[in-house]
Structure 1
Amino acid sequence: MAVVGSYFPGRGTLIEETFLKGKAAGRAEARAEVRAKIVLRVLKARGIPTSDETRDRIANCTDLSILDRWFDRAITVSTADELFAEEEPDQ
């Protein structure tokens, strides 16, 4: 895997590929962490109580699409449990 502009020692090696994969995974984890914090912040700002279990579930989620869905729902839900409700089937 050649990376243009890479100055990693041993460019194009398995070591570089492993390094770059780890770097990408770290960025994905950071994005998930930020999104989880935003979901929790919206719930807090709206005065919606969250249990430790709910906070842990949100904080430990690494799926960005799920976190995005929870963010969208956090804007309108009445309880934190509604955040995790299943999607309505298409009719």
Structure 2
Amino acid sequence: MTAIQYFWRHPLAEQVREEGRIEDRREMILRILEWRSVPVTDAVRERVNACADLDQLEVWAQRAVHATDAAELFAGD
């Protein structure tokens, strides 16, 4: 009997899901700053969009909620 390989269990599917989570987190950080009317420089936008570490993006998202300046995302990094 042949085992059925379900796509959503395939490593490629997990990679696609992880990339989606990372992209969503990046967008969320920038959106939070936008909603709060915190200006975002190109340098900040580039740094956020270059990050592929989900844990780091989570820290930045939490900081975005309280930041008064977009550079505060990276305080202590």
Structure 1 length normalisation: TM-score? 0.71
1:55 to 33, 45, 65: 45
How far does residue 52 in structure 1 lie from its aligned partner after superposition?
A: 1.3
1:24 maps to 2:21: no
Give the structure 2 partner of residue 68 of structure 1. 58
1:79 maps to 2:69: yes
Given residue 56 of structure 1, which amino acid in structure 2 is its aligned partner? E
Deviations 1:22-68 (A, max 9, x none): 22111101000001101000000111111112112112211111111
Unaligned residue ranges in structure 1 (runs of 5+): 1-5
Larger Rg: 1
Task: Give, in whole Å, the separation in 2 of the partners of 1:35 and 1:78.
Answer: 19
Task: Give, in whole Å, the separation in 2 of the partners of 1:30 and 1:85.
Answer: 26
Structure 2 length normalisation: TM-score? 0.83
How far does residue 74 in structure 1 lie from its aligned partner after superposition?
A: 0.3
SS in 2 for 1:34: helix
How far does residue 85 in structure 1 lie from its aligned partner after superposition?
A: 0.6
Unaligned residue ranges in structure 2 (runs of 5+): none
Greater helix percent: which structure? 2
Given residue 31 of structure 1, which amino acid in structure 2 is its aligned partner? R
Task: Give, in whole Å, the separation in 1 of the partners of 2:19 and 2:50.
Answer: 10
How far does residue 7 in structure 1 lie from its aligned partner after superposition?
A: 2.7
Q: Which structure would you say has the larger RCO, counting Cα contacts within 8 Å and 6 or more residues apart? A: 2
Given residue 70 of structure 2, which amino acid in structure 1 is its aligned partner? A
